[in-house]
Amino acid sequence: GGVTTIDAGFKNTSSCESAITFLDGEKGILRYRGYSIEELAKKSNFVEVSYLLIFGALPTCDELAKFKADIRKQSLVDEDIKKILDGFPKSAHPMGVLSALTSALTAFSPKSVDVDSPEEMYDAIVKIYAKLPVLASWAYRKEEGLPLEYGDNSLGYVENFLKMMFDLPNEVYKPNPVIIKALDKLLILHADHEQNCSTSTVRIAGSSHAGLFASISAGISALWGRLHGGANQAVIEMLEEIKEDGGGYEKYIAKAKDKNDPFRLMGFGHRVYKNFDPRANIIKVAAEEVLADLGIDDPVLDIARGLSTVALEDEYFKSRNLYPNVDFYSGIIYRALGIPIPMFTVMFALGRLPGWIAQWREMRLRKEPIGRPRQLYIGATGRPFIEKEER
């Protein structure tokens, strides 16, 4: 039948029922499986939150120990993946590399998962969860010309990841506990956000019964863009540019307000949060703490503070309910923690992975239909073919 409604960007369309993440954009509430993000960020850790999101309940001690042990068993990737990585130029952006390598994993686990088998589902989930940090660290090491290595399975998730990234051939990297704690918190804050662009991409790709790894690879590509996960890199580049330009941010605020200028304030605004982004509030405090703990005086943080204070008082931003979002401060912390700028969005991908997995799993277990939006056709009406000579 004919379609009469259109909802560009799905601003008012629910694509599914979901029991994973609750988000109230007016009140600034975010909960994973009923637990507030504030409480999880304070009391839990990323692996536990991942389990909660994916399987629906906080793990018991035994369940958590088993999950961790199973992850450890899957933390190697096929050696041939290194050959694929070798084919990329050093200048390749790690998000492109990560998406490609994740897709390449399908070649080494070609059997399609029987979603009615809890064992097969669990196996696929643990595989991708264990291997993505390895691929992410390799994407970075390739760019740096460092040898590719595996981590140390006796370490926790974040510490192990940092070691995989930063160990040098003759020097073992010893991360500061402040850095580990801050990164763990950031991963928790990014772990799910209901039907955002990349998660919807994972669900739509998976709804055709494409496999988990292929669907996650599609999600990584969607996350890369500047309006979504790529905003964290874009924010720090914007703040750096303002610094180079003498620190005057008023000009940039004016540019963002100018409707003839495509420039937007990166890290401002959100599709759903219209009051504040609860994640941004937690991250802002964490950024201040981390910089103080590490004794870093970052002029970029002063610019961020000043810019957000002025923008929040400005009628343009006020009337449109534009507030700093999660990405406004995350880049400042990542930089203070020594994460290289092109890896910022990769950190987001690692954080979002459990959310993607949980949403894919829920979609498949609920036997959702294939995602296939309709359209309103606005092209030419039927016309006769014109021969080349007569065009």
Q: Is 270 a catalytic residue?
A: yes
**260 or 381: CB nearest ligand CMC:** 260
Q: Of 100 and 266, which has the nearer Cβ to ligand CMC?
A: 266
265 binds ligand CMC (CB under 6 A): yes
List the 29-32 sheet strands across, edge first: 21-24, 29-32, 35-36
Q: How far is the CB of 229 from ligand CMC (least distance, A)?
A: 5
- Shortest Å distance, C-beta 277 to ligand CMC: 7
Q: For residues 205 and 266, which CB has a smaller minimum distance to ligand CMC in the complex?
A: 266
Determine, following the binding rule CB under 6 A, whether residue 125 of this chain makes contact with ligand CMC.
no
Does residue 231 interact with ligand CMC by CB under 6 A?
yes
Closest to ligand CMC by CB, 209 or 318: 318
Q: Does 333 bind ligand CMC (CB under 6 A)?
A: no
Q: Is residue 270 involved in binding ligand CMC (CB under 6 A)? A: yes
Query: Which are the contacts of 251, defined by CB distance < 8 A and separation ≥ 6?
Result: 245
Rounded to a whole number of angstroms, the minimum distance from the CB of residue 356 to ligand CMC is 13
Nearer to ligand CMC, 115 or 231 (CB): 231
Q: Least distance in Å: CB of 115 to ligand CMC?
A: 28
Q: Closest residue (Cβ) to ligand CMC?
A: 269
**228 touching ligand CMC, by CB under 6 A:** yes
CA-nearest of 36, 123, 182, 103 to 361 is 123
* 168 backbone dihedrals φ, ψ, rounded to 5°: -100, 160
Q: Which one, 160 or 200, has the nearer CB to ligand CMC?
A: 200
- Encoded one letter per residue, x for contact with ligand CMC by CB under 6 A and - for no contact, window 271-310 reads x---------------------------------------
**Nearest residue (CB) to ligand CMC, 262 versus 369:** 262
Tell me how far, at minimum, the Cβ of 47 lies from ligand CMC, in Å. Answer: 22
State how far the Cα of 258 lies from the Cα of 262, in Å rounded to an integer.
Answer: 8
**φ, ψ for residue 18, nearest 5 deg:** -150, 145
| Residue choice 9, 147, 295, 384 for contact with ligand CMC (CB under 6 A) | 9
Q: How far is Cα 257 from Cα 277, in angstroms, rounded to an integer?
A: 21
Q: Is 209 a catalytic residue?
A: no
Of 270, 293, 297, 298, the catalytic one is: 270
Distances 381 to 52, 384, 385 between C-alpha atoms, Å: 52, 10, 12
Task: Single out the residue of 76, 107, 227, 285 in contact with ligand CMC (rule: CB under 6 A).
Answer: 227
Least distance in angstroms from the C-beta of 326 to ligand CMC = 5
Does 196 sit near ligand CMC (CB under 6 A)?
yes
Judged by CB under 6 A, the number of residues near ligand CMC is 20
Residues in contact with 197: Cβ distance below 8 Å, sequence separation at least 6, in sequence order: 222, 223, 225, 227, 228
- Which listed range, 41-49, 128-136, 321-329, 374-382, lies at the site for ligand CMC (CB under 6 A)? 321-329
Residues at the interface with ligand CMC (CB under 6 A): 9, 196, 227-229, 231, 256, 264-271, 320, 322, 325-327
Catalytic positions, written as ranges: 270, 327
